[in-house]
Chains A and B, each alone.
Chain A
Amino acid sequence: MLPWLALLVLGAYWLWQHDWLYRGLAILSANFALTYCLLYWRRQRAKPVFLDTFVIEPNPNWPDNAQPIWLELEPLAKRWEKETKVLTDASKFWQLTNEVLTVVARHFHADSKRPLLEFPLPYLLKLITLVCNDIQHEVLDKIPGSHAVRVGDFLRAKQSLDYLYNLKSVFNVGHWLINWPGAAMTHARGLLFSKGMYTVTSEISNRLINAYIKKLAYYAIELYSGQLTLDDIVPTARLSSASKKDTAKSLARDQSIEPLRFLLLGQVSSGKSSLINALFGEVKSASGILPTTSGITPYVLERDGLQQAIILDSAGYGGISQDQSRAALKGEWKNIDVIIVVCNATQAARHEDAQQLQVVRHYFQQECQNQTLPVIIAVATHIDRLRPVREWNPPYQILQPDNAKARNIREACLAISKELSLPTECIVPVCLAPEKIAYNIEEGLLPLIHEHLNAAQRVRYLRCLREQQAESYWRHWRKQAVRAGQILLEKV
């Protein structure tokens, strides 16, 4: 230090000797000022480490009971973001992981003593793989750094997967089972080092922790709600067995995409078959005053704008000698995406309909929790018979009634909405009388179905997923059994 200070003093002395001291000081000050300004300017212009913000959204295909968990995680994430030692302290890390998983697991297995353990082993590996992979892709890759790392993106992703798949082989050793999240984060840290980031800034740390919590929760929800499949396949790309049977039955040509499945439900002679005929524009199903339909009859409908759909016409309930119809209907619930309740507008006794819907709601709440409630639409038929009975001059202004008929139609729809506990906008008044032109099918019912298409597709997604899981479950069992058999044979 001293020689440097001496140099400074000697320099100053030399400047003074040559009478350049004041000029020199001025130039030096100007230099300092300039440097400071430049530094200040640079600091202002400096970009954050992350170029893009990342958002992890809940999956819209999750069952209804999974959505609230996401909100529950917010306070947890806020709390952990402030912890700085998470990335370096393995025990802290395990604590965080444990907390997130417990929140999710408790939701799905409220009655289990140790909810964390309520999933099959291979799924856990899948979870780790997915979290690591995503954190790498969505977080680490967004840190601007060395070009070399960027070039290696694809390679590295594969490596990380291979790396984790290799874990399978050492899984039983035990160490990884206990500290697998630590392993995942060590891997992440290694990647950061390779980018030349030797110190982990608080910004990166926060981002990493937040992303980790969200990603972990995301996949944990997928895992516990049964959305993860071992085989990476899109569920709706395959045909469910019920549809297979029905399409074969209706002699439709082979299909590659699972259609939406509609179920027509209603009291005897409420007009279900007439509705089928109106939808197809031709007589497909026998309709009349007396009960005509028995059992459940599938029809394949193809219309512009609506992808292929299977419409199931069911026997009405409430009639004499129609006792079996309820049991038959119950078997169909889990194969349905949209329920269309057909109500006679002039039928004030709606107890049966309300009861039937109650059974459906109860079924999806209690017995079939991992699927979601089908979209429910009500169709009010026979509106031509409402008072004034002799009048029928469609179209009617149902939303802003300007005459007695329209008012009564609206009142009837409101009554249906109230008694069946359905939103008013889900009730479509129609006229299907054979001697009249079908009213409000093209302009009322079909647009309403289109409005609910997204929800229906979500129901379909879950429905197909369940069926596939059930299938894959047994397939895996079979595979394992066969293998066990082989081993036994070899040993013998």
Chain B
Amino acid sequence: MHIISNRFWESLKDSIFTPKAGGVDAKINEVKQRLPIPVFWLLGKTQSGKTSLIRALTFSDAAEIGNGFQACTRRSRFYDFPSASHPILRFLDTRGLGETEYNPSEDLAWCANQAHLLIVVMRALDMNQAEVVAAVSTIHKQHPEWPIIVVQTSLHEGYPSADSEHIQPYPYQQAPFAPQVPHALAQALLHQRDWFKSLSVHFVPIDFTLPEDDYEPNDYGLNALWDTMETVLPLGMIGLLRGTEQHKELLDFHAQQAHPHIIGYALLNIGMGAIPLAGLPLVLAVQAKLFHSIASIYGLELTGTLYAEFAALMGTSVGIGLLGRELFKLVPVYGWAVAGAGSGAMTYALGKVFCVYLYGVKRGAMPDQANLRQAYREAFNTARQYLSNKG
């Protein structure tokens, strides 16, 4: 076990500090292409809040939001999350329906070939949705297997007065709605839901506002939306993405930044590990990239000393995962999948622990070995739970 573990750290070190030219990157890219990245298609009328939704989900600054009374998004575009280089989720933002001098049929046909899942966005108080409902029903006929989420936005327009605040706790998940929900708003929500009664659709009322709108929080219902996305798309990475963090006290701003990247690389390694006989070098190359990118997020240079210290602190605990991976790989198909999940979980856990370590380095207070190993084990187990059966 020691031998395997030592070999791992050595090999990773080689990958980090003496990257092999050519070949590896091309292969990584090839795998990346084949990774199933779910595409969420956002469909709805103009100014219904499609781009706001993307902004709240992805924090993308590129997502430009309109003023509420004039069309803003002019063409369809993809928003990769967390980053364009290592996307986990992909959102397809489309031009709104109902714009003057815009015939959406061509765009709709194009989008139908790009997506895997439909998010329909409609303002809760906008009853003029014939076009949207018709489009949804057409899409459903073409792709009956697609999950559909209907997001009902701009809830504040249905509040009894301008001074009303969002209702806490979020009351829209129970049926019938809790009595705090204003009657008119409840009526409007239910009326819209009635249009989709022949389809199996998930509804999420939300209200994403601008800070100057003075509603607290600005992303009211975001958690409910994530929950629903998790329900309809049983992919482990969504759960992982939202983070069930046991080590919150050890996480700081940098770690939060690094989190989606770690998942991105972990996913990539699921793909790598699942390739029969792909071999260690690819997995290691991806992990090497992850280490570099985490270090750069922390604003630190990844030096030999830093790496050696980390490897020494981690010691043998990493080897187990690696051993498992290698053994399982001998079993055809099932073993590849498990081995893939193992590689992914390992990458994830390594990334997480590296964050914890760098956090300590930055603060000048080194975490002790036991804590670090504990963190690794927990992260590994969490990730394996999410990724092994759902990846």
Q: Is B46 an interface residue (CB 8 A)?
A: yes
Known: A349-B46, A349-B96. A289 touches B156 (CB 8 A): no
Q: Within 8 Å CB of A267, what residues of B?
A: 128
Known: A319-B130, A389-B156. A289 touches B212 (CB 8 A): no
Q: A348–B128 contact, CB under 8 A?
A: no
Q: B45–A290 contact, CB under 8 A?
A: no
Of all chain B residues, the one with the shortest Cβ separation from A384 is B162
Nearest CB of B to A343, in Å = 10
Q: Is A363 an interface residue (CB 8 A)?
A: no
One of B47, B128, B187, B214 near A352 (C-beta < 8 A) = B128
Q: Within 8 Å CB of A270, what residues of B?
A: 128
On chain B, which size bracket covers the interface? 35 or more
One of B98, B127, B160, B212 near A291 (C-beta < 8 A) = B127
Q: A289–B69 contact, CB under 8 A?
A: no
Q: Is B219 an interface residue (CB 8 A)?
A: no
Q: Is A392 an interface residue (CB 8 A)?
A: yes
One of A347, A390, A419 near B162 (C-beta < 8 A) = A390
Q: Within 8 Å CB of A384, what residues of B?
A: 162
Q: Within 8 Å CB of A317, what residues of B?
A: 128
Q: B69–A269 contact, CB under 8 A?
A: no
Q: A411–B130 contact, CB under 8 A?
A: no
Q: Is B100 an interface residue (CB 8 A)?
A: yes
- Complexed CA–CA distance, A348 and B51 (Å): 14
Q: B130–A289 contact, CB under 8 A?
A: no
Contact bitstring B218-247, A, C-beta under 8 A = 1, else 0: 000000000000000000000000000000
Q: Within 8 Å CB of B96, what residues of A?
A: 348-349
Q: B98–A320 contact, CB under 8 A?
A: no
Contact bitstring A398-410, B, C-beta under 8 A = 1, else 0: 0000000000100
Known: A348-B66, A348-B71, A352-B98. A388 touches B213 (CB 8 A): yes
Q: Within 8 Å CB of A295, what residues of B?
A: none
Q: A349–B99 contact, CB under 8 A?
A: yes
Q: A349–B163 contact, CB under 8 A?
A: no
- Complexed CA–CA distance, A267 and B129 (Å): 10
Known: A290-B191, A348-B46, A435-B161. A386 touches B68 (CB 8 A): yes
Contact bitstring B113-128, A, C-beta under 8 A = 1, else 0: 0000000000001111
- Complexed CA–CA distance, A290 and B129 (Å): 12
- Complexed CA–CA distance, A146 and B100 (Å): 70
Q: B71–A269 contact, CB under 8 A?
A: no
- Complexed CA–CA distance, A391 and B213 (Å): 10
Q: Give residues of chain B (26-68) contacting chain A, Cβ–Cβ below 8 Å.
A: 45-47, 66-68
Contact bitstring B134-170, A, C-beta under 8 A = 1, else 0: 0000000000000000000000111011110000000
Q: B71–A318 contact, CB under 8 A?
A: no
Nearest CB of A to B15, in Å = 52
Q: Is B251 an interface residue (CB 8 A)?
A: no
Q: Is B195 an interface residue (CB 8 A)?
A: yes
Most A CB contacts (10 A, CB to CB) among B67, B157, B213 go to B67
Of all chain B residues, the one with the shortest Cβ separation from A385 is B157
Q: A289–B184 contact, CB under 8 A?
A: yes
Q: Within 8 Å CB of A391, what residues of B?
A: 162
Q: Give residues of chain A (254-291) contacting chain B, Cβ–Cβ below 8 Å.
A: 267-270, 288-291
Q: Is A415 an interface residue (CB 8 A)?
A: yes
Q: Within 8 Å CB of A388, what residues of B?
A: 212-214
Q: Is B252 an interface residue (CB 8 A)?
A: no
* Top 6 closest pairs, chain A to chain B, by CB: A349-B98, A348-B47, A318-B128, A412-B69, A267-B128, A349-B45
Task: Point out residues on B near A: beta carbons under 8 Å.
Answer: 45-47, 66-71, 96-102, 125-131, 133, 156-158, 160-163, 184-185, 187-188, 191, 195, 209-210, 212-214
Task: Point out residues on A near B: beta carbons under 8 Å.
Answer: 267-270, 288-291, 316-320, 322, 345-352, 354, 384-392, 408, 411-412, 415, 419, 435
17 further A-B pairs in the complex, CB-CB below 8 A; given A269-B127, A346-B69, A349-B46: A288-B187, A290-B188, A318-B130, A319-B127, A320-B133, A348-B45, A348-B46, A348-B68, A348-B70, A350-B98, A350-B100, A351-B98, A352-B128, A386-B68, A388-B214, A390-B163, A411-B70
User: Would you mind naming 18 contact pairs between A and B with Cβ atoms under 8 Å apart?
Assistant: A267-B128, A269-B125, A288-B184, A320-B129, A320-B130, A346-B47, A348-B66, A348-B70, A349-B47, A350-B99, A351-B99, A351-B102, A354-B101, A384-B162, A387-B210, A388-B214, A415-B69, A419-B100
